[in-house]
Structure 1
Amino acid sequence: MTHDHDLVLRPTAAQTEAALNPPTGRNGGDLVVETLTGLGATTVFGLPGQHALGMFDALRRSSLRYIGLRVENNAGFAADAYGRITGEAAPLLLSTGPGALTSLAALQEAAAASAPVLAISSQIPTAGLGGGRHGYLHELPDQQASFRGVVKSVHTARTQSQIPSAIAAAWESALTAPHGPVWVEIPQDVLLAETHLPMVTAMDATPEDVVPRPELTALAADLLSRAARPAIIAGGGVVRADASGKLRQLAEKLNAPVVTTFGGKGAFPWNHPLSLQSWLEDRHTTDFLEDADVLLVVGSGLGELSSNYHTFKPRGRVVQIEADLGKLESNHPALGIHADARLALSALLETVEERTDPTAADRVAAVLANVAERIASQELILEQDVLASVRRALPDDSPSFWDMTILAYWAWSAFDARAANTMHSAQGAGGLGYGFPAALGAAAADPGRPVLAVSGDGGALYSIAELATAKQYDLNVTWLIVDDGGYGILREYMTDTFGQATATELARPDYVALAESFGVPGVRTTPETLEEDLAKALASPGPSVVLLPAVLRMFAATHLG
C-alpha cells in the first residue's frame, strides 16, 4: 500500500540542471523575492533601510512590481488594502527597528480586519543575536516581541536555507481563515551574503480550509428552520470569505432579516426587502435583533461597534460562525461553529428548510422607518446631502477607503456600499491616516477602476506625504478631504463631555496648493458642487484631490432603551 506521505516528488532533468547550476550574483535577498514570486506574488510594498538593502537589491533582478511609500505605516495600510481587494497575501518589505516599529499601527488594523499582509523585516546581523555583541544601529532587545501581540504568527530565518520555508509558512498562515498579517524576520548579513543555493521555483503553501463540524451545522440548520423570528448579523468574515452570495441565498430561504456590521458593508444588498442595512448604533435595530428567537451571527465577534457599545443583549438562541477562535463565543454564549463563513453557509444551505414569513419584510420596513424618523428629527441635512453626493459621484464598482472621520462614521451606518468588498474603513483598530494610503494599495491592485479615499484634515496630515507616491506611480485615486479645521469628532466628544474642547484645533496647509505642488490636480469644492467636482475627478485618470471645507456633525446614536 502506498501512502501520500510516502510519495517523493522527483525533480525533472531540467530542474536538476538548474539546481546544480544556479545563476551567479545572487544574495539572500534573491531567495526572498524568488520565494514570493514562486508563491504567486506580483506586487510588493515597502520602504528600504540599511539592514534590508539585500532584499531591495534583489528586486531589480525579479519580475515583482515595487510600490514604495514614504512612511512604513502607510506602506502597511497600502498592503492591507491590496490584500483585501485581491484576497492574496500582500508582501510588505521593512527595515529593522524604527522602520519595522512604524508599521505596527497598520498591522494592528490588518489584524482587526483580517487582511492578509506578509511583512518581511530585516534584523541586525546574526553576530548581535542570541547574546552576541550589541550596539548595532536600529537594534531592539527582542524585535519579534514587539509584533507577537499584533500579528497572527511570527517566523524567523537565521540562515539562507531557512528563507523559503519561513516565507512559505507565513504565506500559508496569512491566508488561512481568519486571514491576517504575519511577520518574517531575516538578519542583515543573511540577506547580503552571496548565495549558491538553487533558485526557488514554485512553492506549495496552500492554506488549510477551516471546515465546520457537520453535527453543529445540522443543529444550527434545525434551529433556524424552526425559528419564528430568525435574524442574521453579517460581519467582515462574510466579505473576507467571498460569501455574500451564499448569505443572500440563506436569508431568502429562511426569510430572515439581515443587518451588516460596519466591517461587513456590502455583504447583503442594501435595498433588499430583508435588509436592515447597517444601522447598528440605533436602538430600533438593537431591539429588533434582541427580539429574534434565533440569531445567526456570521463572521463577526460582536465587538464594541457591532453590539451597539455592548448594550446588545440577545434574548434568543445565538448561532455564531467565526473563523477566529479568539472571537468565538467571546461576548455572548452561543452555538459556536469554528469555520470559514463560506463553508459554513454552504453547509447550512444544504440542510436548512425553507421558511415562509409574510411579515418579515414589513417588520424590516418598520425598523428602517423608525430609524429614518429619528435621524430626520436631528436636522442633519448637510451631512446627509454630502454623503448622498459622494454616493452618486462614485461608480458602483469602485472601492472606497474611509479614514476615522465624521463623514466615515456616517458612512458606516448610512452608506450603500452597492457590492461586497467595495467599502473599507479603519474601524477595526481605529487608527488615523488609513484612507489615502489604503486607496493607493487598492489602485495598485486594480488599476482599471477609480478609487475613492475619504479623510478629515486631521487624518489627511498623517498621510500627506503619499501624494508623492500617488504621483510617482500615477495611481488612480481621488482623495476627498473634509476640512473642518481640526479633529472634528474629538471636538464633539470633548465639548459634549467637558463643555469645551482642548487640543483639537489644527493649523493646516492649503491642501489644493499642496497637492498641486506634488503635481496632483486639486479643486476646492462646496456641498452644492461636491457631486459634480468629485465625479469629474474620479473620471480623470491618475491621482487628484477634492477639498471640501465643511463642519459636519455626527448623528446622535442611541444605546439605551
Structure 2
Amino acid sequence: MNPDREPKAPATRNGGDLVVESLVNLGADRVFGVPGQHALGLFDALRRSSLRYTGLRVENNAGFAADGYARSADTVAPLLLSTGPGALTALPALQESAAASVPVLAVSSQIPSAGLGGRRRGYLHELVDQQASFRDVVKSVHLVGAASQIPSVLAAAWESALTPPYGPVWVEIPQDVLLATTEVPRVTGLRARPRVPLARPELLAEAAALLVAAERPVILAGGGVVRAGASAELLRLAHILDAPVACTFGAKGAFPWTHPLSLQSWLEDRHTTELLDDADVLLVVGSGLGELSTNYHTLAPRGRIIQIEADPSKLESVHPAFGIHADARTALAVLGDSVSPRPPGRGATIARTLRERVGARIADQGLDLEQAVLAAVRAALPDDSPVFFDMTILGYWAWSAWDARRPGAMHSAQGAGGLGYGYPAALGAATADPARPVLAVSGDGGAMYSIAELATARQENLDVTWLIVDDGGYGILREYMTDTFGEATGTELARPDFVRLAESFGVPATRATPATLRSDLAAALTAPGPRVVVLSALLRMFAPTHAERTDGR
C-alpha cells in the first residue's frame, strides 16, 4: 500500500473500521454503493481509509457499476449496501454477476442483533431472513456475528469470489456490530488464496487422444476462456489442430475476429449450428452450453463433445460429454503440449465458407441501416476501449457481429438479461482505468433504468460516452410480440428529450443521425468527462434461423 495513503488510526475504532481495513488488506482499491441507516457505521469508516468510494443513485446500478469495475480491473469489486430495500434492490445486478461469473463482494448491513433469529422487533427495513433472498443468487453467503469475525469472514468471501468459477458473494453484518467500539487490533497481513481447479492428468491425456484422432475438430470458446486469461493458449491449440473456433457471446475477443480459423460469433445461425453439429470432436472450453450458446437448445452434436469447465455444476448439464473440471488456461496449455500438429488449410477453408454463408444470409434481409450503425460505432471506438451494451437491439446485433479486438473489450447483460446494465457498468469500468474512454449503448427503454446515474457521471467526471438509440419503446420486445402475435402490447413508451435531460445534469449531449454517428461518437469519446449521443432510429433484428433437429426433439 502507498505509505502516503496510509490512513491514520482513529482514537476509537469500530466494526466499520475492521471492514475497510480488511478490504484494503485483501487488495481493494475502490468500493461502490449507496448508504443507508443501518450501514452508516460502515460508510463513516470509509473516510478513515484509503478506499476510494463511488456512490451511485440506485443500489441496482451500484451493483452493475461494481460488475463493470470487476470485469475491467480483473479483481473483486466491493459493493456496500444497507438493509432491506437497499439490499433487495441490488438483486438483479447480483444475478447478472452470478450468470456472467463476475467477482462482486456485496457487504450489507443488517438490523441490530437483537432482532435476528426470527425475533420480530419492528426495526426499520426488517426482514425475517434477509440472507435467504440472496442465497439462490450469489455464489456464497457469509454471516458476521461479532466484530472479531469480520476479517476472517471477509477473507473467506474474497477467496470464494475469486475461486473459479468466479461469482458474487454476500456478507451480512448487523448494525450494532458495525457501530460498536472494538479492541480488535488493526487488520494487517490478511490474505485470501483462491483455488484454481486443475484437471486430472489422465482426463487431459484422453482428451488429447480424442483430438488427435479427430478428422473434423471444432472449438467452441466460452467466457471462461476470457476470465482465465487463456486466449493465447486457445490460439496455439487451434493452430496445432487446424481447428475452426467459434466464440460464445460471453467470449468476445477470446479469439481474433479476422483470423483465418475464426467462425466468429454467429451462434444464432443455422449454418454455424450445423457446423458445430457436424464436428466429430467438439471441444467446448469455458462454456456451460446455455440457451444462447446452443442456438436456443437446437444444437445437437453428432460427434464427441469434450467439455472443459471450471463450474462442476455445468459439466454435462446440457449434453453428454467427456467432462473435465478445470481452469481453461491450464487445461488448454496441457492440450497444446499434448497434441500433434496437422497440416494447415482445411480449417481455414471451413471457417471462410461459414463466414461467407452467414454473410450471404444476412445480406438477403435488407438490414443495411443496422449494419451501418454497428459499423459506425465500431469505427468510432478505440480498439483498447471497452463497450458495455444494454439489452437493446444494437446489443443483440453486437452479440453476433461485434469485432471485440481484445479479450474483455465487449460486455453485455446477456448473462441474466436484465435491463439497465450498460451505463452503470460502463461507469464502473471507467473508474478502473481513467486513462481510456468507455462506451455504453442503451435503448430508450433501458436508458430510463439508469438515467439518474448521469448525476454520478457528472459528479465523478467519468470519461463515459452514452449512446442512446431512441426507437420509442422496448424495441426488441416489440419485434418479438409482433412476430408472435401480430401486434405488440405494452412496448410503446413516452420518454424525455434525452439531449435536454442530459444537459440538465450538466452532461453535454449531441443528437446524431446514422450519417453523422461515427463522427459524433468519435468526438464524444475524445472529449473529457461524460457525454451523451442520442440516435433516433428504428432498428430491426436479423432473423435468427435455427437448425433443423434430426433427433425428433
Alignment: residue pair count? 541
Q: State the match for 2:3 in structure 1.
A: none
Q: Distance in 2 between matches of 1:270 and 1:358?
A: 18
User: 2:374 & 2:449 partners in 1: Cα distance?
Assistant: 23
Matched, 1:361 2:348: yes
Superposition map of 1:263-412 within 5 A: 263-412=250-399
Q: 2:207–2:306: 8 Å Cα contact kept in structure 1?
A: yes
Aligned amino acid, residue 45 of structure 1: F
Deviation of the 1:22 alpha carbon: 7.3
Q: 1:449 aligns with which of 436, 447, 457?
A: 436
Q: Does 1:503 align with 2:490?
A: yes
Q: For residue 414 of structure 2, what is the aligned residue in structure 1?
A: 427
Where does structure 2 lack aligned partners over 5 or more consecutive residues? 1-7, 549-553
CA shift digits 1:193-228 (9 cap, x unpaired): 111210001211110111111110111111111210
1:48-104 per-position Cα deviation (integer Å, ceiling 9, x unaligned): 000000100000000000000000000000101111111211000000000000000
TM-score of the aligned structures, taking structure 1 as reference length: 0.96
Give the TM-score, by structure 2 length.
Answer: 0.97
Query: Post-superposition shift, 1:550?
Result: 0.3
Q: Distance in 2 between matches of 1:419 and 1:357?
A: 24
Does structure 1 retain, via aligned residues, the 8 Å contact 2:273–2:547? no
Give the match for residue 475 of structure 1. 462
370 and 198 in structure 1: CA distance in 2 versus 1, 3 angstrom threshold: same
1:133 shift after superposition: 4.4
The letter of the residue matching 1:166 is: V
3-state SS of paired residue (1:307): coil
Does the 8 Å contact 2:499/2:509 carry over to 1? yes
Amino acid at match of 1:345: L
The Cα of 1:359 is off from its aligned counterpart by: 1.7
Match of 1:75 in 2: 62
Q: Identify the residue that residue 242 of structure 2 maps to in structure 1.
A: 255
- Aligned twin of 1:218: 205
SS of alignment partner, residue 107 of structure 2: strand
Please say if 1:100 is aligned against 2:100. no
SS of 1:209's partner is: coil
**In 2, Cα distance between equivalents of 1:541 and 1:533:** 14
Q: 1:196-207 alignment to 2 at 5 Å? A: 196-207=183-194
Q: Which segments of structure 1 move beyond 6 Å, counting only runs of 4 or more? A: none
Q: Is the 8 A contact 1:127 1:133 kept in 2?
A: no
> Are 2:515 and 1:515 aligned?
no
- Give, in angstroms, the shift of residue 24 of structure 1: 2.1
In the alignment, the residues of structure 2 paired with residue 550 and residue 273 of structure 1 have an alpha-carbon distance, to the nearest angstrom, of 34
2:156 is aligned to: 169
CA gap of 1:85–1:22, structure 2 versus 1, over 3 A, is: closer
Q: CA deviation at 1:171?
A: 0.1
CA displacement, residues 16-64 of structure 1 (integer Å, 9 cap, x when unaligned): xxxxx97522111000000000001000000000000010000000000
Where does 1:119-198 land on structure 2 (aligned, <5 Å)? 119-198=106-185
SS in 2 for 1:437: helix
**In the alignment, is residue 39 of structure 1 matched against residue 30 of structure 2?**
no
**Contact 1:22/1:196 (CA < 8 Å) preserved in 2?**
no
Distance, in Å, in 2 between the alignment partners of 1:323 and 1:560 is: 29
Q: CA contact under 8 A between 2:10 and 2:48: conserved in structure 1? A: no
- Distance in 1 (alpha carbons) for counterparts of 2:343 and 2:96: 41
**Percent pairwise identity:** 72
Q: CA deviation at 1:237?
A: 0.4
Shift in Å, 1:357? 4.2
Question: What letter matches 1:405 in structure 2?
Answer: T
Aligned to 2:544: 557
Q: Distance in 2 between matches of 1:112 and 1:355?
A: 37
**Contact 1:42/1:64 (<8 A) preserved:** yes
- For residue 453 of structure 1, what is the amino acid of its counterpart? A
> What SS does the corresponding residue of 2:313 show, helix, strand or coil?
coil
CA distance in 2, matches of 1:463, 1:71: 8
Q: Work out which of the residue numbers 192, 203, 220 in structure 2 matches 1:233.
A: 220
DSSP 3-state at the match of 1:461 = helix
Q: Is the 8 A contact 2:242 2:346 kept in 1?
A: no
Structure 1 residue 134: Cα displacement: 1.9
